[in-house]
Amino acid sequence: SLQSNSTYPIVGVLLSLTDENGREIDAAKEILEGIKFAFHEYNSDHSEKIGIVISDIQRDKTKIIEAANNFIENNDIRCIIGPVFSDDVRNALKEIDRSNLCLISPTATDDDLVSLSEKFYQANPSLTDRGKIFAQYLYYVENKRSLAVLNSIEGYSPLLAASFSQEFERLGGKIAAKETYKSKSFSLAEQMTRITAISSSIGGIYAPISDGSDAKAILSQMVQSGLNIDIYGNQDWFLGKGFESSPEISNKLTFDSDYFIDFNDNEFKQFSSLFKKNSGMEINRNVLYGYDTAKYILTVLRNIDPTRKNIKYKMESGISVTGFHNNISFDLDRSNKFINIVRFNDGVFELVDKFRSGY
């Protein structure tokens, strides 16, 4: 095992950088570049260094178990970043759960992971949490009290619709209509007719999609039905087409997303060129998932005696760390409280808010 008896604390990184056939996994490599750059930056600025040890687990259950146990036995390792895939996380948690090490995944989004172990922290909110937090945003910030819900029966659209509706009603809001359709069928006339009939009494439609092509179908059917109300969705609207053909509705589109990159932001531009100089790579959202998660952990490790227990306490105390793709903050629920609120406005996506759930 990795008994290094180091003079400084170490963060373990558990990632499948290659698959079982030895093929490189680009997304994981990009996430790792982001993690490494955060440590490089931190150690350049601080005299008290923090190390990293990286283990490539290769999508292999045996390797995951072995690597997790090596990390557990090495007292210098104070917490773990990774894995990035939900099934790898599941396998790692079987070992980690009986230790006092915390594990934070930059990207695993399965709904049940947080319930599998008190040692697990989800930096990228699960789909259920996204629906729930977005409902809080619409209720408290946009003061919506009555909405229609329109979802496809495929993919994660029904899951988002259910978690959103449940939370919106729990807060005291009313779901005045629930309509479903078959993805890519482009037949939404009946559903829109029913929503149009109650349009004067609702504040908008929540329409989570799991295929970008459904965005166009929804917008064009709204135009045909003369339905001109606010439309709310999930981040698959980023991939939607057809905004240009219905501009009067497009400016009414707001959705939540686990990432938003403001390429015009000066701080981001500066960061981007430093990163490119250092790694030879262009920044993308995977790099930022890794960088922001590592920056969060490095912030947690500062100004405390960084024992495994103290790290857990500090993470659950609600400390918020500003990130480029999203902010990160946990409480006892151990799932990130932040989502990005994005609006489509005059041809561009704009960040409205990084919204923190109050519950």
Whether 10-125+265-326 shares its CATH topology with 128-257+340-356 is answered yes
The string of DSSP codes covering 303-320 is TS---HHHHHHHHHTT-E
Rounded Cα distance, 303 and 298, in Å: 10
pTM of the model: 0.94
Q: What percent of the chain has pLDDT over 70?
A: 98
Rounded Cα distance, 161 and 148, in Å: 10
Rounded Cα distance, 125 and 130, in Å: 6
Query: What class is the 128-257+340-356 domain?
Result: alpha beta
Please, are residues 10 and 52 in contact by the beta-carbon 8 Å criterion?
Answer: yes
- For 108-137, b/e burial (b = at least 16 CB within 10 A) is bbbbebbeebebbbbbbbbbbbbbbbbbbb
pLDDT tens digits, one per residue of 31-45: 999 999 999 999 999
As its CATH architecture, domain 10-125+265-326 has 3-Layer(aba) Sandwich (3.40)
Rounded Cα distance, 343 and 196, in Å: 23
Look at residue 2 and tell me whether its pLDDT is greater than 70: no
pLDDT tens digits, one per residue of 265-302: 999 999 999 999 999 999 999 999 999 999 999 999 99
Question: What mean pLDDT is predicted for residues 317-346?
Answer: 96
Write down the domain spans for the chain. 10-125+265-326, 128-257+340-356
Edge to edge, what strands does the sheet with 253-257 contain? 174-181, 146-152, 205-206, 231-233, 253-257, 338-345, 348-356
What is the pLDDT confidence band of residue 326, given thresholds at 50, 70 and 90? very high
Res 5: pLDDT: 56
Please, are residues 25 and 58 in contact by the beta-carbon 8 Å criterion?
Answer: no
pLDDT tens digits, one per residue of 102-144: 999 999 999 999 999 999 999 999 999 999 999 999 999 999 9
Partnered with residue 341 across adjacent β-strands are 256, 353
- Burial (0-12, 13-18, 19+ Cβ within 10 Å), 251: middle
Please, are residues 231 and 253 in contact by the beta-carbon 8 Å criterion?
Answer: yes
Pick 2 or 65 by higher pLDDT: 65
Task: Give me the amino acid identity at 62.
Answer: T
pLDDT tens digits, one per residue of 160-183: 999 999 999 999 999 999 999 999
